[in-house]
Amino acid sequence: MTTIILKPHKDESARRFHPWIFSGAIAKIQLDKDYPFPAPQEGELVVVQSHGGDILGVGHYQIGSIAVRILEFGVSTLPPHFWRDRIASAYQMRESVGLVRPDNNTYRLIHGEGDFLPGLIVDIYADTAVVQAHSAGMHLHRQEIAEAIVAVVPAVRNVYYKSDDTLPFKAQLTGDKAGYLLRAENNELRTKDEEEFWSKENGLEFRIDWLRGQKTGFFVDQRENHALLERYARGKDVLNMFCYTGGFSVYALRGGAHLVHSVDVSEKAVDLVRKNVARNFPDCTNHTAYATEAFEFLADIKDRYDLIILDPPAFAKHRDAVKNALRGYRRLNAKAIEQIRPGGILFTFSCSQAVDKEMFRLAVFSAAAQVGRKVRILHQLHQPQDHPINIYHPEGEYLKGLVLQVE
């Protein structure tokens, strides 16, 4: 196996179990004598070794800033049944915290570094697992991963692979990047021309479109925050901005909201939220969805709403965009704080990994100060249990939110 030898004193982070080896830390790449290529291939397993010869671990090699993603520390080969054991550990955690229930068959099974499988995302929708590879190595192991999921998770009978938009752009990878890896015979799931598929979150049903939807087909990271909003919704006039599938809208309706307005720039999203509302509340007359740009809609809402949700897409996908992102968060939150009814509740979020929770809180503080109203923080929110953060990899924290009360 190819060995990656690090520069002197560049092994500290690996000894602290951080799973990334950066290209600048590498002193030498040592190939086996009979290795057929002049350099390691994208996605292959390599051994990481300190300058002094200590074995630090084994992981996936990739061309780029992050050269190796370590899968197992302190070994030179992956142990037998590695994929099954690692996935079983993740599933057992989800079971132990009560996420696997008849009324909740929508959850994240594998959350990359948070489940000690860097570069891999797996979401469960009833009897289907949707797999996304974010590294070349996970792409190469996709069939083993699919077989391990079916072996471990009793409900899963189908595994769909959706990595056409997530794999490294320059990697010369072979094999399909989207399609079923495993599929039960005579199942009832749709293909492109089949019927819609529905999955449950806390007893509510949502349409899942892993073929054409964003991410794996649904955003599973707001489940606990949806439930919190439901507790605040009774009797309220609710505005759900950037609604996408309408998760917050559906929970607000179940919580007894007086009216709910859902807004998204995408016509497809607006159509989807209407379907989700109709599925759960067939006779609903107090929900309206609008396909329009967010800032246009917020320009003059005055005091029409006393519960507002701001859950925009990532404003900063890399550090160079942070300054503009913070400006966007300030502008967006100022519009909401300025116009929400006295005593109103604002749920505001950022899913930008490059914007940490202190930056986001400062942006919201600046928005409140600009408007000049009295504002209380009632809750500080984050990602749920099935999106765990590896304690040795703080970069895994991405979702942050605040619940504010505005006088």
Enumerate the active-site residues: 351
- What SS3 state is found at 348? strand
Can you tell me the distance from the alpha carbon of 144 to that of 98, in angstroms, rounded to the nearest whole number? 27
Nearest residue to 401 (alpha-carbon basis) of 382, 385, 386: 382
User: DSSP labels for 94-141?
Assistant: HHHTT--BTTB-EEEEEEGGGGT-TTEEEEEETTEEEEEE-SHHHHHT
Count of H-run helices and E-run strands, the chain: 10, 20
Using CA atoms, how far apart are residues 246 and 282, in angstroms rounded to an integer? 15
C-alpha dihedral sign at 167, 172, 173, 176: positive
**C-alpha span between 273 and 366 (Å, rounded):** 32
HSE toward the beta carbon, residue 7, CA cutoff 13 A: 8
**Tokens encoding 314:** 């990532």
SS3 of residue 357 by DSSP: helix
Q: Are the beta carbons of 285 and 291 closer than 8 angstroms?
A: no
